[in-house]
Amino acid sequence: MAELIKVSAQSRSTAVAGAIAGVMREHGHAEIQAIGASAINQAIKAITIARGYLEQDNMDLSVVPSFTEVEIDGNERTAVRLTVFKRPIDSSMPTNGRVHHAELV
């Protein structure tokens, strides 16, 4: 199993994206965990940036979200777990995380 990437509201999305890309290249999947709306936002931005990093490796990403319970300082919290899988690049999908307005229907 790949190492769990924990994302906080203060995480730099580009740094997390680099970690995601590295884990994806090595293991072919990644596990990301975030607690709270701001942390989840940073995680989603990081996945989007990582897609751009992995284009040169002819790799695209798919994400499966789930909830998990974690214990922090003796308290149980609900975290969002984002499992990221590699998939071949689909030419019909926007590249580098960019959607062109003409593609929005």
Q: What domains sit in the chain, N to C, each tagged with a CATH number?
A: 4-91 (3.30.110.20)
Instruction: Map residue 82 onto helix, strand or coil.
Output: strand
Per-residue pLDDT of 27-85, as tens digits, reads: 999 999 999 999 999 999 999 999 999 998 999 999 999 999 999 999 999 999 999 99
* Angle at 21 (CA atoms; ends 15, 38), nearest 5 degrees: 45
Q: What is the pTM of this model?
A: 0.86
**pLDDT score for 16:** 98
User: How far is it, in rounded angstroms, from Cα 86 to Cα 97?
Assistant: 15
Say if strands 60-72 and 75-87 run parallel, antiparallel, or are unpaired.
Answer: antiparallel
- Residue 70 identity: V
